[in-house]
Structure 1
Amino acid sequence: MNAQLTGGKLLTLLQLSSPALPIGAYSYSEGVETLATQGTIATSADLLHWLTQELSSGSIRLETAILRWSYVAASQAQFEAVDRWNQWLSALRETAEMRSQSWQMGRSLLRLFADLEPELTRQLPDLARQGNCNFAIAYSLVAQAWQIPLEAAAIAFLHSWAANLISAAVRAVPLGQTQGQRLLQQLTKPIQTAQADIATMTEADLMACNWGVSLASMQHEGLYSRLFRS
């Protein structure tokens, strides 16, 4: 798990975390569209504050922690543990939209991986061939199968999450493309801090303050017009 991120593995990780990966991430805003419509997120400073708070106390921390543990469990063929964490993540979702997002992205990633790596796919646990595999779990299984070092896979997961929500805000607020890139740069330190904190988490630390996202998700279906599915 501490293996060096060689040139080939780096390119594979860039592919896995690319916004061009056809898993549908671009169609979700995780409540950002609701908050933009309501005026809660109206500036780049508002979005920076929102994402920084999510990194410090939101459910993305739990997803990343479980990604890490599932990666380790999969590397040791402890697939019952992977299945348990998948069920735990499904139960964590407060709204049908958020659960649907996680399942749809997980399903799309695993279907893509099966097309790219049919031999490696046969080594994945049964839940990878079922419909309700959460994205963080699917990501961990693919990263482990590709032997991408855990630390690199985890921080790329956080970066990809932040980049996707910034992209959503660029369209929904709206913000300029340069502002979006500046925001992503400003999140470098918060992402690194979150990565370090998450690496030390235990099961006793599985808690989050996520009510803002939950309320935004619940209100999303009532918006007059929508660009996103969440």
Structure 2
Amino acid sequence: MTSNSPKEMSANSLLNILHIADPTLPIGGFSHSNGLETYVQQRIVKDADSAQLFIESMLKNNYKYNDSLTLRLAHEYASAHQMEELFGLDNEISALKSPREVREGSVKLGTRILKIYSQLITNELVTEFFNKVKAKEISGHYAVVYGLITSILGVDLSSSVNSFYYNAAVSMVTNAVKLVPLGQIDGQRILYGLHPLINLLTEETLVLDKAMLGVCNPALDIKCMQHERLYSRLYMS
């Protein structure tokens, strides 16, 4: 058997990133606004400028210290075959996600992506992790599974974190376009303008101390909890 050339491995890695970060991956991500719907109904987010401010704040103050750092740690644990640490991380995330809808949404996305990739690839780490989920010993949170799968697929840590931030940004922009509503060009202008921030946050996340995991964003948590009792809702969170 001949080994893949560096160019082939690079191309495969890019395709793996594009696949797992694709917003159309059938895991139900379009059903979750993660608090944005509350901000829109309360007229806090009401135009392109306030939508951009919300998304930037989410990336800098929420994702950086929560899901993105979780992803980085999961990727590192999976790469080192430290499965007990990976299981412990997943249980820790269950404790850190205070809003019920956000916690349940994270598990739904994680288990769905796990079901997809357990049928696409054969790997003992995925099997072991999935068995723990089915035995209800762990939950299978989205960021943990994303880190596990990208590690197994050979996606380097920096690219994995970068793609995760981009996926989050795309989801929030898409939701803002629907909810505010915004024009399609407004949405694309916001997304394109986020590129430098995404790259900066990727660099910062790669060196972030594990002790920073779970830094709280009280305002967002409250809005996510209020979402459960909104009179009308388009999203599950």
> What is the TM-score when the length of structure 1 is the normalising length?
0.93
Following superposition of structure 1 onto structure 2, how do residues 16-31 of structure 1 map, counting pairs within 5 Å?
Answer: 16-31=20-35
Supply the distance in 2 between the matched residues of 1:190 and 1:207 (Cα, whole angstroms). 21
Supply the distance in 2 between the matched residues of 1:154 and 1:221 (Cα, whole angstroms). 30
**Mapped contact 2:79–2:151 kept (Cα < 8 A):** yes
Does residue 111 of structure 2 align to residue 107 of structure 1?
A: yes
Does residue 114 of structure 2 align to residue 127 of structure 1?
A: no
Supply the distance in 2 between the matched residues of 1:85 and 1:23 (Cα, whole angstroms). 22
TM-aligned CA distance change 1:163 to 1:93, over 3 Å: same
What code does the residue aligned with 2:78 have? A
Does residue 193 of structure 2 align to residue 186 of structure 1?
A: yes
1:228 alignment partner, one of 218, 224, 235: 235
Match of 2:149 in 1: 142
Supply the distance in 2 between the matched residues of 1:61 and 1:142 (Cα, whole angstroms). 20
Match of 1:84 in 2: 88
Match of 2:3 in 1: none
Supply the distance in 2 between the matched residues of 1:110 and 1:204 (Cα, whole angstroms). 27
2:65 alignment partner, one of 61, 66, 77: 61
TM-aligned CA distance change 1:229 to 1:203, over 3 Å: same
Structure 2: runs of 5+ lacking an equivalent? 1-5
Supply the distance in 2 between the matched residues of 1:9 and 1:17 (Cα, whole angstroms). 12
Supply the distance in 1 between the matched residues of 2:77 and 2:19 (Cα, whole angstroms). 23
**Mapped contact 2:74–2:148 kept (Cα < 8 A):** yes
* Number of aligned residue pairs: 226
The list of structure 1 runs, each at least 4 consecutive aligned residues, that deviate by more than 3 angstroms after superposition, is none
Give, in angstroms, the shift of residue 148 of structure 1.
0.9
Task: Deviation per CA, 1:172-226: give whole Å up to 9, x if none.
Answer: 1111111111110111122112111111111233353411211111111222211
The alignment partner of 2:93 has SS state of helix
More displaced, 78-87 or 60-69?
Answer: 60-69
**Mapped contact 1:28–1:228 kept (Cα < 8 A):** yes
**Mapped contact 2:64–2:205 kept (Cα < 8 A):** no
> What is the TM-score when the length of structure 2 is the normalising length?
0.90
**Mapped contact 2:118–2:126 kept (Cα < 8 A):** no
Give, in angstroms, the shift of residue 60 of structure 1.
4.3
Match of 1:159 in 2: 166
Give, in angstroms, the shift of residue 98 of structure 1.
0.6
Supply the distance in 2 between the matched residues of 1:64 and 1:168 (Cα, whole angstroms). 20
Supply the distance in 1 between the matched residues of 2:127 and 2:83 (Cα, whole angstroms). 6
Pairwise CA RMSD of aligned residues?
1.7
What code does the residue aligned with 1:67 have? L
Supply the distance in 2 between the matched residues of 1:217 and 1:60 (Cα, whole angstroms). 18
Give, in angstroms, the shift of residue 125 of structure 1.
5.9
Supply the distance in 2 between the matched residues of 1:116 and 1:204 (Cα, whole angstroms). 34
Following superposition of structure 1 onto structure 2, how do residues 33-72 of structure 1 map, counting pairs within 5 Å?
Answer: 33-72=37-76
1:177 alignment partner, one of 177, 180, 184: 184
What code does the residue aligned with 2:101 have? E
Give, in angstroms, the shift of residue 114 of structure 1.
1.3
More displaced, 39-48 or 200-209?
Answer: 200-209
